[in-house]
A and B are shown apart, each in its own frame.
Chain A
Amino acid sequence: DGGITQSPKYLFRKEGQNVTLSCEQNLNHDAMYWYRQDPGQGLRLIYYSQIVNDFQKGDIAEGYSVSREKKESFPLTVTSAQKNPTAFYLCASRRAGEVSNQPQHFGDGTRLSIL
């Protein structure tokens, strides 16, 4: 079955370390997204990518970086510049282009904690 795989499910980081969260999809979707979820705050967009080798900042991009070298993959790096990285991170994808009303499909998330 097609879907979105996020790994690992739980991740621990020491202060000052960069860490990369993986997101892979086999849905042949063009667009991919990273969200951060904190208790009681809903979803906040970190970065998104509409096509390979292109991505845009979302509402809270500071302290994060991404790459989109392959259609299937959209890894997120949480850098040491992100002062409060403890959160639940969700990756999503959707068809894009001419089909503008398609919903997003989500992975099961990665919970990042600071040691």
Chain B
Amino acid sequence: AQSVTQLDSQVPVFEEAPVELRCNYSSSVSVYLFWYVQYPNQGLQLLLKYLSGSTLVKGINGFEAEFNKSQTSFHLRKPSVHISDTAEYFCAVIPMDSNYQLIWGAGTKLIIKP
């Protein structure tokens, strides 16, 4: 069965420090990969996506992610976080099978400490 695992439910980090949010997936077919951000009491907003090509993708708000096929990972990184990055981050994949539905991770709350 296909699945997405976000290894940390919460990640606390000091302001201006770097951060990495981890995402691993399991799928018998190739996948498209996505990271979304959810601010409190709001819907989800697309941060970045990997469809093909360069494995390093850049998104909005200074975030980037690297697709590692051998490790089936798509970790999200930012070199210096700001208080406004406080949010929940979701990793999702679309398996390239006939269903093409998103499979979601459980989310990681990024907590920025002043």
B43 touches A107 (CB 8 A): yes
- Interface-side segment among A12-20, A35-43, A78-86: A35-43
Interface size class, chain A = 20 to 34
Taking Cβ atoms with an 8 Å cutoff, the residues of A that contact B are 4, 6, 40-43, 45, 48, 90, 92, 96, 100-101, 103-109, 111
B101 touches A48 (CB 8 A): yes
- Known contacts A100-B94, A100-B96; decide if A111 and B41 are in contact (CB<8 Å): yes
Whether B87 is near chain A, meaning CB under 8 Å from some CB there, is no
B43 touches A90 (CB 8 A): yes
Whether B111 is near chain A, meaning CB under 8 Å from some CB there, is no
- Known contacts A42-B105, A109-B43, A111-B41; decide if A103 and B90 are in contact (CB<8 Å): no
- Other-chain residue from B34, B41, B51, B106 in contact with A42 (beta carbon distance below 8 A): B106
A40 touches B9 (CB 8 A): yes
A101 touches B32 (CB 8 A): yes
- Known contacts A42-B90, A90-B43, A109-B43; decide if A103 and B49 are in contact (CB<8 Å): yes
Question: A48 vs B49: C-alpha distance in the bound complex, in angstroms?
Answer: 22
Complex: chain A residue closest to B98, CB-CB? A100
Whether B71 is near chain A, meaning CB under 8 Å from some CB there, is no
Complex: chain A residue closest to B10, CB-CB? A40
Question: A47 vs B11: C-alpha distance in the bound complex, in angstroms?
Answer: 31
B16: min CB distance to chain A, Å:
28
Whether B104 is near chain A, meaning CB under 8 Å from some CB there, is yes
A49: min CB distance to chain B, Å:
12
- Other-chain residue from B9, B45, B96, B100 in contact with A106 (beta carbon distance below 8 A): B45
B53: min CB distance to chain A, Å:
12
Across-interface contacts of A96 in B (CB, < 8 A): 100
Question: A106 vs B43: C-alpha distance in the bound complex, in angstroms?
Answer: 6
A90 touches B44 (CB 8 A): yes
